[in-house]
Amino acid sequence: MVVKVYGPAFASPKRVIACLIEKEIEFETVPVDLLKGEHKDPEFLKLQPFGTVPVTQDGDYVLYESRAIIRYYAEKYKSQGTDLLGKTVEERGQVENWLEVEAHNFNPPIYALTLHLMFASKMGFPPDENLIKESEEKLGKVLDIYEERLSKNKYLAGDFFSLADLSHLPFTQYLVGQMGREYMITSRKHVSAWWDDISSRPSWQKVLQLYAPPF
C-alpha cells in the first residue's frame, strides 16, 4: 500500500516525508493549498476535522499530527531503513523527551517567527514586531540549552540520529533560509555542527529538492 501524504509544500508534512524516506517507505503526495484555505474544505475536514496538515492515508488507516505519524511509521517499520527510535526503551525515552522539547519549547517561538516573518504579508496581516523580538529571544534561550546538550551528545537523544532531530528540520530550514536568521544557528558551535549534520542527510536534501515551499 502506498502512503498518501497531504500538504507536502508546508513545513509539518515535511517531517513526515523525511521520515518516510529514511524508513524507505513508498509514498505519494496530495497538494493542499493552505493559502487558498483548502484545509477548511468539507471534504478535507472529513479526513482531518481540525483542518490542518499533514494527514496520511494508508488504505483506510488515517493519521494526522506530524509527530504522531512519524512515531507510527518509525515503529511499524522499526527494522527497515534508518532506526529512528533508539535501540533500548531508555533510548526511546530520550527520543520522546526531546521530541516533546521540540514540540513545546522549540516550536512555539519558531512557529511564531515563521508566521510573522514569512506568512504575514502573504496572508494579509501586518507582522507583529514585538512578537518577533520576543520569539527570537525565547528561541535563543532554547538554543542555548541545545548548545549545552549537544556539547555532550552528538544528537539530541544521545549519540544516534532520531525522530527528535528529524522533527527540527522543516522550521529550522526556514530559519536559516527565508527568515534570514542563520546567525542563530552558526553563532552556537555545537548547534551549528548538529544542523550541518542533520540538514545534509540525503533524506532531507531530497525533501527540499522535491517539495518547494509555498513561495
The grid coordinates of residue 86 equal: 533508539
SS3 readout for 105-163: HHHHHHHHHHHHHHHHHHHCCCCCHHHHHHHHHHHHHHHHHHHHHHCCCCCCCCCCCCH
The grid coordinates of residue 1 equal: 500500500
Q: Which is nearer to a copy of itself, 92 or 201 (CB)?
A: 92
Other beta carbons within 10 Å of 126: 8
In the complex, minimum distance from the CB of residue 22 to a copy of itself, in angstroms, rounded to a whole number: 18
Q: Which is nearer to a copy of itself, 113 or 201 (CB)?
A: 113
Q: Which is nearer to a copy of itself, 63 or 198 (CB)?
A: 63
In the complex, minimum distance from the CB of residue 29 to a copy of itself, in angstroms, rounded to a whole number: 20
- For residue 103, the 8-state DSSP code is I
- Distance CA(170)–CA(14), nearest Å, equals 6
The grid coordinates of residue 130 equal: 514585538
In the complex, minimum distance from the CB of residue 150 to a copy of itself, in angstroms, rounded to a whole number: 12
Peptide bond into 214 cis (omega under 30): no
Q: Identify the three-state secondary structure at position 171.
A: helix
Other beta carbons within 10 Å of 181: 19
In the complex, minimum distance from the CB of residue 95 to a copy of itself, in angstroms, rounded to a whole number: 9
In the complex, minimum distance from the CB of residue 212 to a copy of itself, in angstroms, rounded to a whole number: 26
Q: Which is nearer to a copy of itself, 149 or 154 (CB)?
A: 149
Q: Which is nearer to a copy of itself, 56 or 203 (CB)?
A: 56
What does the binding site for a copy of itself look like in residue numbers (CB under 8 A)?
49-50, 61, 63-65, 67-69, 71-72, 75-76, 89-90, 92-94, 96-97, 99-101, 103-105, 142, 145, 148-149
- Distance CA(106)–CA(134), nearest Å, equals 13
In the complex, minimum distance from the CB of residue 41 to a copy of itself, in angstroms, rounded to a whole number: 16
Q: Which is nearer to a copy of itself, 38 or 147 (CB)?
A: 147
